[in-house]
């Protein structure tokens, strides 16, 4: 049995693919900057915002905070699917549990503290047959 759902049986991911792609791009950029910051002793002082993983992480949290509760829960559920906690056929269950997880409204903090968040989210979307690389930005 495949992890991908039947294309004739499309699932509503709740969040637009363009929004998801933007969040994935930001999450991956944060991860890259954090890795660079850990590997470099000196940063270019002339462009601190471009090299500041904390500032970029705050921007990413802002993107997630702007989403409504259902969209935030969908991001959590997609991330769990991408991480392998659930498969695409368990979407409804993952989404229900993600809504419970996000009752306190802490989705941004929860997701951005997850190592490999962007990659997990991309894998979650791929489980439904979508390629983030093909989404127009």
Q: pLDDT tens digit string along 37-65?
A: 666 654 555 555 456 778 889 999 999 99
Rounded distance between C-alpha atoms, residue 82 and residue 36, angstroms = 25
- pLDDT for position 2: 39
pLDDT of residue 116: 95
User: With 60 as the cut, is the pLDDT of residue 5 above it?
Assistant: no
pLDDT of res. 98: 98
């Amino acid at each position: 049995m495949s992890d991908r759902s039947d294309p004739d049986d499309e699932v509503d991911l709740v969040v637009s693919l363009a929004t998801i792609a933007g969040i994935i791009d930001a999450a991956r950029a944060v991860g890259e900057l954090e890795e660079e910051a850990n590997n470099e002793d000196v940063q270019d002082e002339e462009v601190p915002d471009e090299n500041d993983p904390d500032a970029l992480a705050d921007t990413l949290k802002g993107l997630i905070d702007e989403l409504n509760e259902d969209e935030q829960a969908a991001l959590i559920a997609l991330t769990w699917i991408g991480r392998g906690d659930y498969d695409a056929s368990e979407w409804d269950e993952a989404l229900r549990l993600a809504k419970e997880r996000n009752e306190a409204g802490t989705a941004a903090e929860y997701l951005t503290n997850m190592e490999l968040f962007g990659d997990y989210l991309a894998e979650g979307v791929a489980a439904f047959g979508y390629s983030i690389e093909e989404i127009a930005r």
